[in-house]
Amino acid sequence: IAGITQAPTSQILAAGRRMTLRCTQDMRHNAMYWYRQDLGLGLRLIHYSNTAGTTGKGEVPDGYSVSRANTDDFPLTLASAVPSQTSVYFCASSDSAGDGADTQYFGPGTRLTVL
C-alpha cells in the first residue's frame, strides 16, 4: 500500500441499504477527512478526525457516520442510503490538523450511485 486507498472503486446501491466506504492510509497521518464531490458544488466536508479516537462533523454530516479506531483506517457508513447521496466520495489525510503548509492527500475516490 502506498498513500491512501479507498474501496470500493464504484458501487450501485439500492435506496435504504447500509453501505460502508473504506479508507486506509499508510503515511501515519494523524488527521483524516471524508468529502463528497458533486458537479457544480465542489468538495464538501462530511466528517473528519484530527487523531485516532476522535471525530467531528463537517459541512454535510447528515446521513453519514464515521469511526476512527486506529491511525490508518477511517470508514464512512451510510446507515440507510438515499438517492441524494449519489456522489463521488474522497477520503483524505494530512500529517496534522495544524497550521503550516499541511497538505491534504486524497485517495482515488469511490463513485456511489443510489437508486
Partner 1 sequence: GQNIDQPTEMTATEGAIVQINCTYQTSGFNGLFWYQQHAGEAPTFLSYNVLDGLEEKGRFSSFLSRSKGYSYLLLKELQMKDSASYLCAVRDSDYKLSFGAGTTVTVRA
Q: How far is the CB of 115 from partner 1 (least distance, A)?
A: 21
Q: How far is the CB of 17 from partner 1 (least distance, A)?
A: 25
| Cell digits of residue 43 | 468538495
Cβ atoms of residues 31 and 97 within 8 Å: yes
Which residues form the interface with partner 1 (CB under 8 A)?
33, 35, 40-45, 48, 58-59, 90, 97-99, 101-109
Pick 10 or 80: Cβ nearer partner 1: 10
Pick 26 or 59: Cβ nearer partner 1: 59
Q: Is 106 exposed, middle or buried (0-12, 13-18, 19+ CB in 10 A)?
A: middle
